[in-house]
Amino acid sequence: MSGDETECGARSGTYGHPAPVEEWQRRHTQETRHLRYRRNFGDYAVMRPPAGRDGFVGGPPVP
């Protein structure tokens, strides 16, 4: 994730956690009075493991 300030082009850099970006934005706002930021979030896809012994595998209907 990264925080970009669109009007002056200052960039926070990219971090794996929002906290350092928010800290950068807070400091940048104090220094420059800039208030607009563009934040880019990464997109993660989480794959589910294939069903094993404990997974649902189907079977005859329960009476």
Q: Is 38 helix (H, G, I), strand (E, B) or coil?
A: strand
Q: Given the complex with Zn ion, which of 5 and 21 has the nearer CB atom?
A: 5
Query: Which residue of this chain has its Cβ atom nearest to Zn ion in the complex?
Result: 34
- Nearest to Zn ion of 30, 61 (CB atom): 30
CB-wise, 33 or 48, nearer to Zn ion? Answer: 33
Cβ at position 28, least distance to Zn ion in Å: 6
Sign, Cα dihedral of 50, 54, 55, 59: positive
